[in-house]
């Protein structure tokens, strides 16, 4: 099947940052087969034609760290101190189940697709249900079952995620859109044995490994007291740093930590929205990039950052990093859009397939419409995306050559139906959530 997207301003995000001010793209099956200026376009009655109406065509955005099924916890206990340990962990264990994980994931994926996110890296529980939801919704998904040092909602045993992950990886490893991985929650919520086992699974199946790293002040204190090391130094000492590791957050990094991340080609998922909301800090992204460490953007879960789109992260990233570095000129808009596209693809080791608009790559594409009141005038497409646009400007989305959002609506799914299904499965959960919040505040 052939599809032609025409009358668009194309920002390719390729190595040369090539742009087509009035261009078109041809999609054949799953891949991009041609990119050109409108003057070159020839009529093709066999093709599906999509008129971009002078919108901006960009690569699909990539969310390198999220927790899809935490949707039910959005807006709960946002101002609660030590929210993770006092509120979310107990609430998850009491309330999360297979059905809730499945319907929450569907809703979260719908939110992401409508905002132009075409690839995600998710770690949570009941990931087999998340995989089913991802497959049905048609998103490109990296999925990992959480490994943690206590019994969870889907495991009666501590570190039960290890056995779950083996079965999960074997089941989904050859899927064209789903890439399974192994997901130890964090160094301080695992032990040396579980981390080594997780790394062995990652090596055996040649899949990514991802965890929260250098995110919490008490995490740093624990490794200082127990090992006289930083969390990054500890991971090196047990052989866990590698080019397969995607480290989420990385707020508290020493210069030696950064050198180690560079040495082992570790990738970083930067979650500016959730990190600043929780008052943890701003990760040293400028230093990471100076050391050629791949950095992508993540939203964290909807309970932590509240929104799941990368467009919001663009603006937050610009504002916080310019302030943190006391430099208005740092991180031009073009470089910020890179973080949400081709750099995110590099974090996932998929930059040969996604992250830019190039012939032969997968057709993961987004049209940002420019007719809304907030999108005029436009002198620079990158600045418009970072500083002017919001998720309501996402008009059309393709994943793997298939149109999944058109005219700002899901193509094959009804958002209201998905919302009602989730709402029905949240009924028993809501009262427990309120009760747990009271305990957490006391």
- DSSP letter at 155 equals B
Span 62-72, average pLDDT: 95
pLDDT at 311 over 90: yes
CA 125/CA 143 separation, integer angstroms: 10
- The two three-digit tokens of residue 74, written as one number: 């959005």
**Cα–Cα distances in angstroms (integers) from residue 263 to residues 17, 195, 292, in the given order:** 28, 20, 10
Mean pLDDT in residue range 118-138: 97
Q: Where are the beta strands (DSSP E) in 288-348?
A: 295-297
> What is the DSSP pairing of strand 365-368 with strand 245-249?
unpaired
Separation of alpha carbons 37 and 8, rounded Å: 9
pLDDT tens column, 76-87 = 766 766 666 666
Q: Return the pLDDT at 353.
A: 98
Residues 321, 333: Cα–Cα separation, whole Å = 12
pLDDT at 301: 87
Q: In this structure, how many other beta carbons lie within 10 angstroms of the beta carbon of residue 322?
A: 14
Q: Quickly count: other Cβ atoms within 10 Å of residue 94's Cβ.
A: 14
Place of tokens 């040649």: 206
pLDDT over threshold 80, residue 205: yes
Question: Model confidence over 387-420: pLDDT tens digits?
Answer: 999 999 999 999 999 999 999 999 999 999 999 9
- In angstroms, the CA 202 to CA 165 distance is 10
Residues 282, 316: Cα–Cα separation, whole Å: 11
Least confident of 87-96, 128-137, 147-156: 87-96
> b/e string for 291-316 if b means 16 or more Cβ within 10 A?
eebbbbbbbbbbbbbbbbbbbbbbbb
Report which of 260, 247, 259, 255 is spatially closest to residue 219, judged by C-alpha positions: 247
pLDDT at 218: 93
Residue 102 has pLDDT above 90, yes or no: yes
Order of strands across the sheet that contains 402-406: 31-37, 19-28, 2-11, 48-59, 365-368, 394-399, 402-406, 409-410
Residues 385, 400: Cα–Cα separation, whole Å: 23
Q: Please report the pLDDT score of residue 87 as a whole number.
A: 64
Burial 359-374 (b: 16+ CB within 10 A, else e): eebbbbbbbbbbeeee
DSSP 157-189: STTTHHHHHHHHHHHHTT-SSEEEEEEE--GGG
pLDDT of residue 441: 54
The answer to whether residues 29 and 354 touch, using CB atoms and an 8 Å cutoff, is no
* pLDDT of 18 higher than 70: yes
Name the E strands within 17-152. 19-28, 31-37, 48-59, 61-66, 117-124, 140-147
Q: What is the pLDDT of residues 280-294, one digit of tens each?
A: 999 999 999 999 999
CA distance 181 to 207: 5
Give exposure, 424-441, as e/b (b: 16+ Cβ within 10 Å).
ebbeebeeebeebbeebe
Residues 298, 283 contacting (CB under 8 angstroms) = no
Determine the pLDDT at residue 83. 64
Per residue in 105-116, pLDDT (tens digit) is 999 999 999 999
Residue 208 has pLDDT above 80, yes or no: yes
Q: Is the pLDDT of residue 430 over 80?
A: no
Q: 58 in helix, strand or coil?
A: strand
The lowest-confidence range among 99-103, 190-194, 275-279 is 275-279
Model pLDDT, residue 31: 98
Q: How far apart are CA 298 and CA 69, in angstroms?
A: 15
Q: What is the mean pLDDT of residues 310-316?
A: 98
Q: State percent of the chain over pLDDT 70.
A: 95
For the segment 248-255, the average pLDDT, to the nearest whole number, is 98
The mean pLDDT of 274-281, rounded to a whole number, is 91
Taking the C-alpha atoms of residue 184 and residue 209, their distance in angstroms, rounded to an integer, is 8
Looking at the predicted structure, is the pLDDT value of residue 65 above 90? yes
Q: Say if residue 92's pLDDT is above 90.
A: no
Domain 2-57+366-410 falls in which CATH fold? Urease, subunit C; domain 1 (2.30.40)
Q: Where are the domains of the chain?
A: 2-57+366-410, 61-347
DSSP H or E segment with residue 260:
helix 255-263
Asked if the model's pLDDT at residue 357 lies above 60, the reply is: yes
* 361 close to 353: Cβ distance less than 8 angstroms: yes
Global pTM value: 0.96
CB of 130 closer than 8 Å to CB of 102? yes
What average pLDDT is seen over the chain?
Answer: 94
Q: How far apart are CA 144 and CA 126, in angstroms?
A: 9
Considering the segment(s) 61-347 as one domain, its CATH architecture is: Alpha-Beta Barrel (3.20)
């Amino acid at each position: 099947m052939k599809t032609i997207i025409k009358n668009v301003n194309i920002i390719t995000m390729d190595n040369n940052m090539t742009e087509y001010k009035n261009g078109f793209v041809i999609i054949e099956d799953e891949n991009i087969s041609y990119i050109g200026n409108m003057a070159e376009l020839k009529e093709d009655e066999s093709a599906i034609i999509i008129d971009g109406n002078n919108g901006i065509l960009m690569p699909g955005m990539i969310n390198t760290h999220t927790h899809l099924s935490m949707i039910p916890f959005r807006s709960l206990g946002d101002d609660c101190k030590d929210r993770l340990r006092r509120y979310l962990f107990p609430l998850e264990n009491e309330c999360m189940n297979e059905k809730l994980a499945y319907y929450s994931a569907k809703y979260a994926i719908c939110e992401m697709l409508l905002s132009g996110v075409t690839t995600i890296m998710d770690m949570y529980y009941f990931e087999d249900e998340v995989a089913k939801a991802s497959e049905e919704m048609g998103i490109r998904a990296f999925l990992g079952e959480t490994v943690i040092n206590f019994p969870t909602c889907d495991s009666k045993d501590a570190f039960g995620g290890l056995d779950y992950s083996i079965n999960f990886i074997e089941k989904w490893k050859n899927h064209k859109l789903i890439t399974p991985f192994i997901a130890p929650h964090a160094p301080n919520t695992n032990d040396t044995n579980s981390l080594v086992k997780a790394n062995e699974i990652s090596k055996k199946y040649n899949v990514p490994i991802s965890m929260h790293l250098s995110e919490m002040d008490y995490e740093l204190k624990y490794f200082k007291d127990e090992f006289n090391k930083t969390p990054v130094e500890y991971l090196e000492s047990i052989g866990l740093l590698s080019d397969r590791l995607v480290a989420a957050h990385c707020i508290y990094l020493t210069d030696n930590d950064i050198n180690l991340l560079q040495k082992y080609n570790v990738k970083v998922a930067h979650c500016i929205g959730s990190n600043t909301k929780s008052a943890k800090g701003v990760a040293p992204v400028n230093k990471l990039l100076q050391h050629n460490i791949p950095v992508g953007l993540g939203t964290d879960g909807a309970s932590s950052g509240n929104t799941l789109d990368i467009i919001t992260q663009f603006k937050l990233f610009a504002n916080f990093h310019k302030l943190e570095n006391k430099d208005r000129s740092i991180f031009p808009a073009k470089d910020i859009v890179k973080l949400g596209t081709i750099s995110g693809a590099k974090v996932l080791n998929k930059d040969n397939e996604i992250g830019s608009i190039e012939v032969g790559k997968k057709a993961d594409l987004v049209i940002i419409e420019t007719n809304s009141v907030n999108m005029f005038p436009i002198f620079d497409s990158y600045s418009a995306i970072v500083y002017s646009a919001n998720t309501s400007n996402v008009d059309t989305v393709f994943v793997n050559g298939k149109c999944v959002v058109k005219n700002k609506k899901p193509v094959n799914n009804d958002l209201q139906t998905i919302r009602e299904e989730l709402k029905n499965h949240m009924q028993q959960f809501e009262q427990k959530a309120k009760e747990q919040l009271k305990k957490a505040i006391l």
